[in-house]
Amino acid sequence: MAHSLAPAELREQLSTSEGSCLLLDVREDWEYQICHLEGSRNCPVSQVPTLLEELDPDTPTVVICHHGVRSQHVAEFLERSGFSKVCNLEGGIDAWAREIDPQMPTY
């Protein structure tokens, strides 16, 4: 099972090592348009397998979805595909909005 990262842990990681990880948002395009973390890359779950060749399995990757369920499945898929530094954002973008950025739109 992929490691989970709490929103506060991700905020800390981003503040100390910005640019050193990939934020992979696996929600649908319409969800991403409502709200997302700056610098994240949107790739809906169904398209993740086609993205594997573009991604570096050694780059720390944080997978994000709405509540953390889809992203957990994608994180586990990436681990099975040889990605060694994968985390799931616990509670998803919804938890980020509630705990870190209350100005962020929610749905």
Candidates 56, 69, 61; CA nearest to 13 is 61
Q: What are the percentages of helix, strand and coil residues in the chain, rounded to 5?
A: 45, 15, 40
Question: Which secondary-structure segment (H or E) carries 89?
Answer: strand 86-89
User: How many angstroms separate the CA atoms of 67 and 72, rounded?
Assistant: 10
DSSP code for 4: E
Active site residues: 65
